[in-house]
Structure 1
Amino acid sequence: MLLLGIDIGTSSIKVSVVDADTQACVASVRYPDDHENNILSVIPTWAEQAPDMWWEQVVLAIRQLTADASFKTQDIGAIGIAYQMHGLVVVDKDGNALRNSIIWCDSRAVDIGEAAFTQIGKEYALEHLLNSPGNFTASKWAWVKANEPDTYAAAHHIMLPGDYIALKLTGTATTSISALSEGVFWDFKTNGISKDVINYFGFDEAIFPEIRPLFGEHGTLRKDVAVQLGLRPGIPISYKAGDQPNNALSLNVLQPGEVAATAGTSGVIYAVSDQLIYDQASRVNTFAHVNYTPEEPRTGVLLCINGTGILNRWVKDHFGHGIAYPQMNALGKAVSPGSNGLKILPFGNGAERILHNKILGARFIDLDFNAHGRSHVFRASQEGIAFSFRYGLDIIRENGMSPAIIRAGQANMFLSELFTEIFVDVTGVPVELHENDGSVGAALGAGIGAGIFASASEAFSRQKALTIVEPQGTDHYEALYQEWKQLLEDQLAKELDTTGRENNE
């Protein structure tokens, strides 16, 4: 039996075919493979992508995949989908997208979410939603209601990016508890869609698709679409999950105390708990994990840093002309820790939750034209990203979770030996690296949802770590981190002072 996984990323679409018997990937395609998809930002702090761009790229990627003669498409028995979290997709009654998706790093709805947090009641919201409405999907939909009344009136369903791709594949609109929780629509106390969120914003509950189990059928492949893709009709979509819960699944991070990390466009640490825990300041966020049930809760405590891999890409684009990432990493590694005094705050990709939803912007601090070259920039950027992970990890520790080891896929920034070494030294936590991939995880998730595997543990029974990277220079990096942290807190104090003066004027 073969399984097809689709990963709807911010920068590209990835599709893979996995052999259920061996759990090995037999074919894989990334589209586009020569550049990264743009984020549309017609107004500063806005971030959008076109849902039909995702769909067109899914079609092209799968058609390229099915042209591969190394496997039989007729043997594909289930399809799974992973997707960038929190994006708002609005469709009409025919399933057509009414506007661009307002994606995860868009900051336009911060004030709307903060007002909702106050009006619903902060403690009440945290106890029931486990989060502030903040900048999540509910607040984005409220922004559409207030600013685009024609779109709001024409909407038949709102959904997340993965729900939209499943709708295009099957003609069936569905969602899950995990998806609703990541939009901050789910009440964990009543185990239903939050009446408080619906009533406060004045939403119609009919706007949500049918709720189905995350591991379970979300429609079957339409005949016309199957012909277009080179697949057989009737294949079930048996798994849909946000990219970070899916990354945790793909690393077999399912039980309390287990922790996953990723460092793609954004950076995430994702810790599993059996408690309905929340951060008082909503700096880290708790959602229903892939294996959540009200009877046996498994929540994912998610630390997200918007400005991680996107900073590394920006540095490559502007300082790394003519060289690839491995060369950048080698040049950065030749520089001593601390980058000769150059420090970078990587927060240039929208409002950062760990910074109380402030839009701080990136900062290059103590840049000396006579002392620093691009090698220092390469190292300082990776140090700044690792320091931001440490800053967020300390918030997770404040909330009672202290990981002994973190699992990560050897992908994106964890392909950099330099970054990985800095990460473990500054956090003091070993990293266990695996050969994992979001689309492969989605494929195996489909196998669980279709009953091809009896359990998640069976689906990942052949998984083995590639290596474990242990901390080496924690004492030296502790001093460097504290200097960086003080600079960050100084910038935050200036931001808060400026905001306070603006509010008083």
Structure 2
Amino acid sequence: MYLLGIDIGTSSIKVSVVDAGTRKSVASVQFPEEETEIKSIQPGWAEQSPADWWHNTQQAILKLNACNLFNPKDIKAIGIAYQMHGLVVVDSDQNVLRDSIIWCDSRAVDSGAAAFDGIGHQNCLKNLLNSPGNFTASKLAWVKNNEAHIYDRIHKIMLPGDFIAMKLTGEITTSISALSEGIFWDFGKDEISAEVMNYYDLDRNFIPEVKPLFSEHGYLKEGIARLLGLSAGIPVSYKSGDQPNNALSLNVLKPGEVAATAGTSGVIYGVSDELTYDPQSRVNTFAHVTYAKEKKHTGVLLCINGTGSMYRWARDQFAAKTSYAELNQLASTSPIGSKGLMVLPFGNGAERMLNNQYTGAQFIGIDLNTHKQADIFRAVQEGIAFAFHYGLDIMRENGMKPKVIRAGRANLFLSDLFAQTFVDVTGIPLELYENDGSVGAALGAGIGAKIFNSPEDAFADHEIQKYLEPKNAEVYEKVYQDWKQILNKTLNK
């Protein structure tokens, strides 16, 4: 018996098949091989085509089947993880009305700030656990105020994973976790926020049917099953945003446990059993995958927009034909501190942890006679690690004090240099695992389809692949303080 996991990433679609008996991945592929474009019609805007996600999902599944390592007809459930906060709007015939306004788009920052004032800061923080910011509700309000001809045709709104589930099953559903990440959920009343809907004058009918996250969100349509070589009628039994799903894939389920990822964006995600919030909304609290009205597990999320995207940009500009593995090896030849070269990696939209300011990515201290390629790429990795340190300090202010962090061996954590730098800069030990988002989505499908007895049962054989402890924490603390001083000057602090 097999489980299919689909991870709708910003850069590509990754799919995995997991053996339900062993809980191990049988095969994984991604499509396309090259990173998917983010459309930026204006500075600070970021959009992608849902049609492209769907095309790439189909191609990824067909590519996975072609591995011939499993019988696709033996797949019994499908799970979906997806880039968070994106807005997909469809009409009554399930036609997409515009490109998705994705997570790193900044156009709704001002309207979100106005809503924060209009609803009331304390009211928002107490009930929404966040400022409306530039999350999905604010993106929808932007469409209402700027594209009335589109807004008037909307039948339902969705997040990216809901859209892929719709294409597979024809059904449109959501969950408390999904609504919370869009800032549609009132934690105080445990219902859709009337205050957000009323303030923005949004149509309540746009919200899909709310179902438990681990449940059947529809069944694979016969025509799609035939196209993809799968069995008709199997359930989509799990949908989650990529960061709660990453936490699930790392068995981060209990209060106090913490996960990290460093893909296009960088995230630290800690589980809490309290309805906590940051007074400045620099970190955000959403309903975790295990959230229930009787067990209110939340996920406290720190997001850095420019991590993998920063490293990719640097590669494209300075070493376009060099592989990431070669770049990591090259960077390791530069000393700690990159000979004084420093990088602010904040060039992918407004950063919530910087109070929604946009500094742009910056290289500081370039010496034309000293700095080489190796120094550039080490400085980028160090700058990303420093951004994690800065964000962790905010999380500590809000009561999150991780003793160890778990991460998958993927993206930047494939770099031994970055992994050790992350540990040295943050001062927190790191556990590395082989699981990734698509594997987590597959296991989530098994939980939702009741193939596993519980989330804990799904991760019964979870094994640490590598454990790292700080080695150069004192040296890096001095470099970090110099970096932080530069950032504070940029932010006019």
The 1-side partners of 2:359 and 2:399 are apart by 27
Pairwise mapping of residues 339-358 of structure 1 onto structure 2 (< 5 A)?
339-358=338-357
Aligned identity (percent) is 63
CA contact (8 A) 2:86 2:103 kept: yes
Pairwise mapping of residues 442-481 of structure 1 onto structure 2 (< 5 A)?
442-481=441-480
Pairwise mapping of residues 110-121 of structure 1 onto structure 2 (< 5 A)?
110-121=109-120
Counterpart residue number, 2:9: 9
Letter in 1 for 2:51: D
CA shift, 1:335, in A, is: 1.0
CA shift, 1:373, in A, is: 1.2
CA shift, 1:321, in A, is: 3.3
CA shift, 1:327, in A, is: 1.5
> Comparing 258-267 with 226-235, which one deviates more in the overlay?
226-235
Matched, 1:266 2:278: no
Pairwise mapping of residues 423-442 of structure 1 onto structure 2 (< 5 A)?
423-442=422-441
CA contact (8 A) 1:177 1:214 kept: yes
Counterpart residue number, 1:303: 302
CA shift, 1:66, in A, is: 2.3
Matched, 1:181 2:185: no
The 1-side partners of 2:329 and 2:165 are apart by 41
Cα deviation 1:372-425 (Å, max 9, x = unaligned): 111110000000000000000000000011100000001100011111111111
CA shift, 1:47, in A, is: 0.2
RMSD, matched Cα? 0.8
CA contact (8 A) 2:291 2:297 kept: yes
The 2-side partners of 1:194 and 1:5 are apart by 31
The 2-side partners of 1:321 and 1:144 are apart by 37
> Comparing 479-488 with 328-337, which one deviates more in the overlay?
328-337
- Helix, strand or coil at the partner of 2:239: strand
- Helix, strand or coil at the partner of 1:144: helix
The 1-side partners of 2:86 and 2:372 are apart by 38
> Comparing 350-359 with 320-329, which one deviates more in the overlay?
320-329
CA shift, 1:68, in A, is: 3.4
CA shift, 1:319, in A, is: 1.1
The 2-side partners of 1:445 and 1:147 are apart by 38
Name the count of aligned residue pairs. 493
Counterpart residue number, 1:321: 320
CA shift, 1:70, in A, is: 2.1
The 2-side partners of 1:274 and 1:333 are apart by 40
Matched, 1:62 2:57: no
The 1-side partners of 2:68 and 2:394 are apart by 49
Letter in 2 for 1:5: G
Counterpart residue number, 1:171: 170
CA shift, 1:436, in A, is: 1.0
CA shift, 1:51, in A, is: 0.2
The 2-side partners of 1:37 and 1:321 are apart by 16
The 1-side partners of 2:27 and 2:323 are apart by 25
CA shift, 1:239, in A, is: 0.1
Cα deviation 1:191-248 (Å, max 9, x = unaligned): 0000000000001111010000000000000011111111110010000000000000
Letter in 2 for 1:100: D
Counterpart residue number, 1:108: 107
Counterpart residue number, 2:284: 285
CA contact (8 A) 1:257 1:273 kept: yes
- Helix, strand or coil at the partner of 1:421: helix
Letter in 2 for 1:327: E
- Helix, strand or coil at the partner of 2:270: strand
Counterpart residue number, 1:231: 230
CA shift, 1:69, in A, is: 2.5
CA shift, 1:50, in A, is: 0.2
Letter in 1 for 2:129: L
The 1-side partners of 2:409 and 2:353 are apart by 25
Counterpart residue number, 1:399: 398
The 1-side partners of 2:103 and 2:11 are apart by 13
CA contact (8 A) 1:66 1:231 kept: no
The 2-side partners of 1:105 and 1:375 are apart by 29
Letter in 2 for 1:32: P
Counterpart residue number, 1:501: none
CA shift, 1:318, in A, is: 1.0
The 2-side partners of 1:265 and 1:321 are apart by 17
Letter in 2 for 1:384: G
CA contact (8 A) 1:13 1:32 kept: yes
Letter in 1 for 2:350: A
- Helix, strand or coil at the partner of 1:350: coil
The 2-side partners of 1:301 and 1:128 are apart by 15
Counterpart residue number, 2:380: 381
Q: Structure 1: 5+ residue runs without aligned partners?
A: 495-505
CA shift, 1:284, in A, is: 0.2
Letter in 2 for 1:55: W
Counterpart residue number, 1:294: 293
The 2-side partners of 1:330 and 1:164 are apart by 39
Counterpart residue number, 2:159: 160
- Helix, strand or coil at the partner of 2:301: strand
CA shift, 1:67, in A, is: 3.1
CA contact (8 A) 2:73 2:229 kept: no
CA contact (8 A) 1:344 1:384 kept: yes
Counterpart residue number, 1:497: none
Pairwise mapping of residues 44-55 of structure 1 onto structure 2 (< 5 A)?
44-55=43-54
The 1-side partners of 2:237 and 2:170 are apart by 14
Cα deviation 1:86-111 (Å, max 9, x = unaligned): 00000010111100000000000000
CA contact (8 A) 2:16 2:27 kept: yes
TM-score, structure 1 length as denominator?
0.97
- Helix, strand or coil at the partner of 1:371: coil
CA shift, 1:326, in A, is: 1.6
Counterpart residue number, 1:502: none
TM-score, structure 2 length as denominator?
0.99
Letter in 1 for 2:335: S
- Helix, strand or coil at the partner of 1:261: strand
Pairwise mapping of residues 81-100 of structure 1 onto structure 2 (< 5 A)?
81-100=80-99
The 1-side partners of 2:437 and 2:320 are apart by 29
Counterpart residue number, 1:20: 20
The 2-side partners of 1:82 and 1:14 are apart by 10
Letter in 1 for 2:401: S
